[in-house]
Structure 1
């Protein structure tokens, strides 16, 4: 059973920023990034417990072929994505985020 996914606004903004950056480098790279994100989200939704705990109850799923991680919380009835984060950025930004969308 795939769980529904809810994105925090900050995570959506990060995803859009990354997608725009890759599209500006090369349009087909932006498409590949979007496909990699989609595949990662499918895996998270289907099997959230397969991914390692990164901080407290927050898990991280790597995005294949891109230096990004999807940080999320697996709740009983949904997945809450708290960050779409480049691996070289300071993790303090996503670690201070609330775990529940308003």
Structure 2
């Protein structure tokens, strides 16, 4: 069953690229694992966007299992809008104005 389309805020794309580059500089295996976990998160929120509880400003968050990141997203009509790929231990709430 196809899920909702997933649209990334441009800043969330930059955050994903920066995180991948950071992991790749240390270990290509870690970078590959990070991207695989990101893909799992995207698929999960696409298929069941309301599975995760409300967070702040009508957003929800999907917590990564192996990395200190979270997909912060909101459901808008027939799509999921990822507003941030936020590091769980840095600058909480920086993305709230997106």
Structure 2 residue ranges without an equivalent (≥5):
none
In structure 2, how many angstroms separate the alpha carbons of the residues matched to 1:34 and 1:44? 15
Q: CA RMSD in A?
A: 0.9
What residue is the counterpart of 2:6 in the other structure?
A: 5
Give the whole-Å Cα distance in 2 for the aligned partners of 1:92 and 1:33: 22
Unaligned runs of 5+ in 1: 98-102
Please give the alpha-carbon distance, in whole angstroms, between the structure 2 residues aligned to 1:73 and 1:92: 15
Runs (4+) of structure 1 exceeding 3 A deviation are none
Q: Provide the TM-score with structure 2 as the length reference.
A: 0.94
Aligned length: 97
1:22 maps to 2:28:
no
